[in-house]
Amino acid sequence: MTATTGRKRMTGEDRREQILDVLLEIVDADGFPAATPRRVAEAAGVSRAVLYQQFGDMGGLCVALVDREFARMRDQFAHGVAALEVTEPSAVFLGAFRVALDALAAAPATWRLFLFPPQGAPPALHARLEESEAIIRAFLRHGLELAFPDTPDPEYVARLVHVSGRELLRMRLEEPENATEKRLLALIDHLVAQASAPEVRER
């Protein structure tokens, strides 16, 4: 038996995932313009012909990456939120932010792709970003209407909450030693408690 026959051959789907993993590493480090066919092929250990067979062209490869990472981020958040056990409606905000922090820790490059869209990003990235933001804003608005039914203009308040949460997640990526999970969760907990205080609710 030769070394070649004794080695398990990579399936087309496994090869596709490997190439996307390599592309994500390159984009995360140097942006989309750095992801040339030659660099991606060499890093993945394949020929450029394999890239084209799998994805058509570099545009198709980049869109495939964006779609995969968007699905991962969406599913991470959706599954985490679905598993939350909260005793009162307002607790969903702290729980959801904890879910986002856990997902970010598990796949920082994925979240960095959408929180800090890299140079030369394809239009598909911005389209997926708009889609994800709309989903989060709808989730926040629903949570506000349940927890704080007297909230004036919940649509715009949800936008403010979304922007604030996104900025905190960016800080977590940019300065992890300063923006610790404990510090960020304590801040969210405090803000939710303040909003839930009777004197605030009665105004």
**Tens-digit pLDDT profile for residues 142-196:** 999 999 999 999 999 999 999 999 999 999 999 999 999 999 999 999 999 988 7
Domain that holds residue 108: 66-196
Residue at 82 is within a domain:
yes
Confidence (pLDDT) at 89: 86
Residue at 115 is within a domain:
yes
Number of domains in the chain: 1
Residue at 5 is within a domain:
no
Task: Provide φ and ψ at 164, rounded to 5°.
Answer: -65, -45
Task: Provide φ and ψ at 25, rounded to 5°.
Answer: -60, -45
**Tens-digit pLDDT profile for residues 2-34:** 444 444 677 878 999 999 999 999 999 999 999
Residue at 70 is within a domain:
yes
Residue at 54 is within a domain:
no
User: Of the candidates 135, 131, 140, which has an alpha carbon nearest to the alpha carbon of residue 160?
Assistant: 140
Give the CATH number of the domain where residue 112 resides: 1.10.357
In angstroms, how far is the first alpha carbon of the chain from the final one? 80
Q: Is the pLDDT of residue 40 over 90?
A: yes
Neighbours of 7 (CB within 10 A): 8
Instruction: Report the alpha-carbon angle 62-19-25, nearest 5.
Output: 75
- Among 99-103, 120-124, 136-140, whose mean pLDDT is lowest? 120-124
Q: Given pLDDT bands bounded at 50, 70 and 90, which one contains residue 198? A: low
Confidence (pLDDT) at 94: 94
Here the contacts of 51-54 (C-beta below 8 Å, separation 24 or greater) are 51/19, 54/12, 54/15, 54/16, 54/19
Confidence (pLDDT) at 4: 46
Confidence (pLDDT) at 6: 44
Average pLDDT value for residue range 46-67: 95
Residue at 125 is within a domain:
yes
Please state, rounded to an integer, the average pLDDT across all residues of the chain.
Answer: 91
Q: Is the pLDDT of residue 199 over 70?
A: no
Confidence (pLDDT) at 87: 82
